[in-house]
Structure 1
Amino acid sequence: MQAQNAIVSAYVTGVLTPQSADILAYSAAIKRFDLLERDREQQLARRWQERRDPKATDELVTSHLRLAAKVARNYKGYGLPIADLIAEANLGLVIAASRFEPGHGARFSTYALWWMKATIHEYILRSWSLVKIGTTAAQKKLFFRLRGEMRKLAGQAAVLTPEIAQAIADKLEVTARDVVEMDRRLSGDLSLNICVGGEDGSTEWEAMLVDGSPDAEVIVAEHDEALLRTRALRTALVVLTERERRVLEARRLAEQPLTLEQLGCELSISSERVRQIETRAFAKVKRATILAARAGNTATAE
């Protein structure tokens, strides 16, 4: 009896690990705990609420360990250790026992079931992928229901077609894109070190990935080029008269360029005259910029 109590206590507190836990011994140990009557559940819950008596929650938990193990076994299909699943279900059971409020008419098993599923779901989502998955309510719903909905619509050999994706999206109140993305993520993580191609001369997948972003040399070269052009432009603006500079800045360098009419009114000249000044100023700046850029390149080379 003491050995059985030790097994149950260790499992509820999470001391046992998948390597050390004896599932058969644990299953046999929890069978001796009988389910409680409604009145007894209410009595224990009141003892915890009023006096914080740990023996009350212990009795609530141990009387429902068989239910926790049953709930955990429903998630064996996710390929995770059954010992870990049972431990997570027991954690939910402990949380439920500490928060169960008597007097609402619900059985403890009904209340605890939600907590057991919640802790198991969180564990599965944490363990499923190296990439964080199921961060929103919609993603969590898709994660746990997508495969089942696909089997309902397409049978055991379920293939996600656009029509099936849209039907699932409508039923689960998500977008078809969310359905497609979750289907891909449920396929699992792929290692960058897996070999692709034939046996001879096979190459790791990582070596075949192409990075479209510019490398450091290109970034530095583009930065230097932009800096050189900026300096050349500032030097070129010196060749303009005050009116030419005003027209060029208002027409070519402003975020919201002024119209010819607006500048004509400002400078008390016609729109055509503004256009002529703009054309002449742009030509002068272009010529001066080219000369300044060449001088800068020559100085850099030296």
Structure 2
Amino acid sequence: MNTLNAVIPRDPWTVVPSLGNLDAYIRSVQAIPLLEAAEEQNLARQLRDQNDLQAASRLVMSHLRLVVSISRQYMGYGLPQGDLIQEGNVGLMKAVKRFDPDQGVRLVSYAMHWIKAEIHEYILKNWRMVKVATTKAQRKLFFNLRSLKHQYKGEAAEAHEAHLGRAGLSEADIHRVATELNVRPEDVIEMETRMAGGDVALEAQADDDHDAPMAPAAYLADDHHEPTRMIEAHHRDWLASDGIQHALESLDERSRRIVEERWLKVNDDGSGGMTLHDLAAVYGVSAERIRQIEAAAMKKMRKALTEDA
């Protein structure tokens, strides 16, 4: 026999699909043999008692096809099957690690819970930017509402849209869903509203029309804590308090009083301070002279504030 032409059989316990080829991966895991009950028990005990990683690998590999099968149930959420399989595999490995062979159940039954739990968590985190389900009851409603809604619509396909309720279901169907899932009818309506809501881009697209609605980023942004604005706000506060006081101290007594009386004093009735003519009478000079002193004082204050900025 020509050894060069011989075909070396591939170990069925190895998965070597083409890079990035999901179909090849699925074909590979389907080719991995299933374990007999006794073999599964022995491998599980080796893992538990001896921490045998080779046994763990055999247990995981023999159930990869289960993850593929379960992932197909969640293809309607717009997420890549490859990602669903990846998350399901994480759940499978958690199940293998926690599996007790003395409980009298097969690993396949035990692992289904962990696989679905991991896929559910992934869907809830990625299906919408805003979480649609947070409590246990909301999660149950989220994953069952879609299938129940399609089931009820199929039963009454001839119903006119005008007779449908807010959730796209008749009032009777809303109550049927609520009863079956043990939630309030209001919860059914709210969840359907969340699921039906379209995603909105946070920032405007490059080709958006000028007449298009303002993107959320334009009115949701909080720039109060932006560093430049914080520095500017701090500087304004300083100018309105310590800065003005320091600038006034640079003036002689007469110039300081003129500025204070003209700009910083407020009468009880809300009116301004003294007029040019009032101050002219106090100092025995003309109103024009008071205006000149005021202008020189303001110039000196601006210079002082600039130097301290």
Query: TM-score, normalized by length of structure 2?
Result: 0.58
**What residue is the counterpart of 1:63 in the other structure?**
62
Please list the CA deviations of residues 102-123 of structure 1 after superposition, one character each: whole Å capped at 9, or x if unmatched: 1111111000111111111111
| Paired AA for residue 134 in structure 2 | T
Change over 3 Å in CA distance of 1:296–1:69 after alignment to 2:
farther
Shift of 1:29: 1.8
**What residue is the counterpart of 1:176 in the other structure?**
185
Shift of 1:174: 0.9
Q: Which gives a bigger RCO, structure 1 or 2 (Cα 8 Å, sep 6+)?
A: 1
SS of corresponding position for 2:169: coil
Shift of 1:79: 1.2
- CA RMSD between the two structures: 3.2
Instruction: Flag structure 1 segments of 5+ consecutive residues without an equivalent.
Output: 9-15, 212-294
Shift of 1:2: 7.9
Which of 270, 279, 293 aligns to 1:298? It is 270
1:170 and 1:183 map into 2 onto residues whose CA distance is 16
CA contact (8 A) 2:15 2:25 kept: no
**What residue is the counterpart of 1:139 in the other structure?**
138
Change over 3 Å in CA distance of 1:102–1:191 after alignment to 2:
same
Change over 3 Å in CA distance of 1:168–1:298 after alignment to 2:
same
Change over 3 Å in CA distance of 1:154–1:119 after alignment to 2:
same
1:1-302 equivalences under 5 Å are 1=10, 5=14, 7=16, 21-155=20-154, 159-191=168-200, 202-204=211-213, 206=215, 298=270
CA contact (8 A) 1:89 1:117 kept: yes
Shift of 1:193: 7.0
2:130 and 2:209 map into 1 onto residues whose CA distance is 32
1:40 and 1:184 map into 2 onto residues whose CA distance is 49
CA contact (8 A) 1:72 1:82 kept: yes
| Paired AA for residue 122 in structure 2 | Y
2:11 and 2:58 map into 1 onto residues whose CA distance is 16
Shift of 1:152: 2.5
Larger Rg: 2
Percent identity, aligned pairs only, is 37
Change over 3 Å in CA distance of 1:93–1:193 after alignment to 2:
closer
Query: TM-score, normalized by length of structure 1?
Result: 0.60
1:142 and 1:29 map into 2 onto residues whose CA distance is 35
Deviates more, 1:153-162 or 1:128-137: 153-162
